[in-house]
């Protein structure tokens, strides 16, 4: 499944529309950057409540498919600028991380990590 498919299924708000044709190989749910660095896998869609620009650096280092920020949180402007520069897809949802992961799982994605 591609990021564009998840955007449609979840009704995500797109903040950075780069590389929406990336293939999603799974999902990772965590709000700890060090946890994602240690345990996230290339091609994972990262589901988090974090909005700090460092999430983009982690996503780029790990080769993550993109980032979904949950809970209706607004993104820091520096995060959007960094995601544009790194070409990391960045989306928002009012759903909780738990709900978002559950929908992804029901769409056939293997959830990895702890759910909130």
Total-model pTM: 0.90
Q: How many domains does the chain have?
A: 1
pLDDT of residue 107: 81
Domain that holds residue 14: 3-112
Q: Are 58 and 38 in contact (CB under 8 A)?
A: no
d(C-alpha 20, C-alpha 27), whole Å? 15
Q: Residue 47: which CATH number?
A: 3.40.1390.20
- Tens of pLDDT, residue by residue over 9-67, are 899 999 999 999 999 998 999 999 999 999 999 999 999 999 999 999 999 999 999 99
User: For position 115, what pLDDT does the model report?
Assistant: 38
Dist CA 14 CA 63 (whole Å): 19
């Amino acid at each position: 499944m591609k990021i564009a498919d998840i955007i449609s299924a979840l009704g995500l708000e797109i903040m950075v529309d780069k590389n929406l044709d990336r293939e999603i190989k799974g999902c990772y749910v965590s709000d700890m950057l060090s946890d994602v660095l240690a345990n996230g896998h290339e091609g994972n869609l990262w589901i988090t409540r974090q909005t700090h620009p460092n999430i983009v650096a982690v996503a780029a280092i790990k080769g993550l498919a993109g980032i979904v920020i949950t809970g209706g949180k607004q993104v820091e402007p520096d995060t959007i600028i960094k995601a544009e520069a790194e070409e990391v897809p960045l989306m928002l949802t009012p759903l909780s991380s738990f709900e978002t992961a559950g929908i992804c799982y029901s769409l056939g994605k293997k959830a990895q990590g702890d759910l909130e």
